[in-house]
Amino acid sequence: MRVEIINTGTELLLGRVTNTHLGFLAQSLFGLGLRVERQVTVPDGAAIGEAFAAALSRAELIVVTGGLGPTSDDITRDAVAAALGRKLIFHQEILDGIAAKFAERQIAMNDLQRPQAMVPEGGVVLENANGTAPGLIVENGTTVAVLLPGPPGEVRPMWNDEALPWLRKRFADRLAPVHEVTLRILGMGETRVQILVEDEAKALGPVEVGYCARPGEVDLRLIGPEENLVRKAAALARAKLGDVIYAEGTETMEQVVVRLARAAGKTVATAESCTGGLVASRITNVSGSSEMFRYGWVTYADEAKTAELGVPAELLEKHGAVSAEVARAMAEGALRGSGADLAVAVTGIAGPTGATPGKPVGLVYFAVAGADGRIEVVERNLSAEREIFKYRASQIALDLVRRALV
């Protein structure tokens, strides 16, 4: 089945609002065995009708978000009705429902709300429990159009509670399950992953292999019609790639670290310089992190490293703040000061300034110290824009903790 999504709203194209609808809808449709073939974002106005007419010539399912409200730029229902050759029919019960919501909020309703009660002839009305604009489903022979409001807080419950059940029933004889496993990889490029995995995975059967590369990382995507087949391909990939795979699905590195630490009953401390607290921030973004995270230091200045972590001033003078020796001392100081089972330290040159002879921008040292006396020090060069550098450094620091926990 050919599926297209049209997201409407000038604010999306101005870059002032992030379009989150595509990811949500595409993942939900994938759960039905449907894959989005095309997505477009258009501004309010005539472009909505043009985009819908174009999609109507290609797709069997069209999902449109936005443009169902009461103001002059909300013309989605009009544009769709015109493209389908349908009259708009006034539904008093819809307007009465809107009036009841206004009364409940003790707000006077105005005449601008009336267009929200107009429904293309033969259309199905989707209840909006979180707003005033109802959603709509309109069929036209071989094509089904699902019209949803724009606000995410209205789209998601309406889609889950109203549209999805309708689609499951309407296309019950055409929905075939599709199975997917995504393996998240750190420290290996996509071409190397392909060389190691792709041919053997495809030899197992009809497995689609795909890649999504990010700085220092790649997601390996395996899709197929049978769950056992996809799981066999995933097992093969795990055997080939080993511990560079840090997660499956959408689990983040920080979620993995928190999960592993809690399961092992271990605590973790952080000592950061160039990442400015990002490692600790990411850990504490995860629910349940309070069970495994107690202490974190941001020791940006040399004197902070000495005062807070006990890094000897002479060590800083001899080797510099960005050095294996200082990273080691930071981790040991954090371990000592926190009483944690593991402590990770990171110190580097985020740039674009700060380079010195022999120490370029992007140079970073990591250290992980354990209460059992083991310590690992790692050097990397992550030359990149400052924010990307910080994220990559935090990712490597967390991965070192993950490996230590494993």
pLDDT at 173: 87
Q: pLDDT digit string (tens) for 268-304?
A: 999 999 999 999 999 999 999 999 998 999 999 999 9
Would the pLDDT of 396 be above 90? Answer: yes
pLDDT at residue 296, as a whole number:
98
Q: Which pLDDT band holds residue 383 (cuts at 50, 70, 90)?
A: confident
Over residues 143-162, mean pLDDT: 95
Q: Is the pLDDT of residue 150 over 90?
A: yes
Predicted confidence (pLDDT) at residue 348 exceeds the cutoff of 90: yes
Looking at residue 240, what is its pLDDT? Answer: 98
The per-residue pLDDT of the chain, averaged, comes to: 95
Residue 178 confidence class, pLDDT cut points 50, 70, 90: confident
pLDDT, residue 108, reads: 87
For residue 384, is pLDDT > 90?
no
Summarize pLDDT for 302-316 with one digit per residue, the tens: 999 999 999 999 999
The pLDDT of residue 9 is: 94
3-class DSSP state of 59:
coil
pLDDT score for 274: 97
Tell me the mean pLDDT in the region 197-221. 95
- Residue 51, pLDDT score: 97
With pLDDT > 70 as the criterion, what percentage of the chain qualifies? Answer: 100
Q: Specify the DSSP element, H or E, that contains 197.
A: helix 190-203
> What is the predicted pLDDT for the residue at 130?
92
Closest of 85, 70, 87, 5 to residue 42, by C-alpha: 5
Write out pLDDT tens, residues 98-122. Answer: 999 999 888 888 888 999 999 999 9
Least confident of 37-46, 100-109, 142-151, 363-372: 100-109
Average pLDDT over residues 355-360: 91
Considering the chain, what percentage of its residues have pLDDT values greater than 90? 90
Range of weakest confidence among 13-22, 191-200, 226-235: 13-22
Q: What is the pTM of this model?
A: 0.78
Q: Is the pLDDT of residue 55 over 80?
A: yes
pLDDT of 356 > 80? The answer is: yes
Burial of residue 335, with CB atoms counted within 10 A of its CB: 0-12 exposed, 13-18 middle, 19 or more buried: buried
Give how far the C-alpha of residue 384 lies from the chain's centroid of Cα atoms, to the nearest Å.
22
Contact 60, 142 (CB under 8 A): yes
Confidence of residue 141 (pLDDT cuts 50, 70, 90): confident
Whether 50 has a pLDDT exceeding 90, the answer reads yes
**CB-count burial class (<10 Å; 0-12, 13-18, 19+) for 155:** buried
Which positions ≥6 away from 111 have C-beta within 8 Å? none
pLDDT of residue 105: 86
The total of other beta-carbon atoms located within 10 Å of residue 258's CB is 26
Residue 227 CB contacts under 8 Å (≥ 6 apart), including other chains = 177, 179
Question: CA 381 → CA 87, 324, 389, distances in Å?
Answer: 63, 13, 9
At residue 111, the pLDDT reads 85
pLDDT of 168 higher than 80:
yes
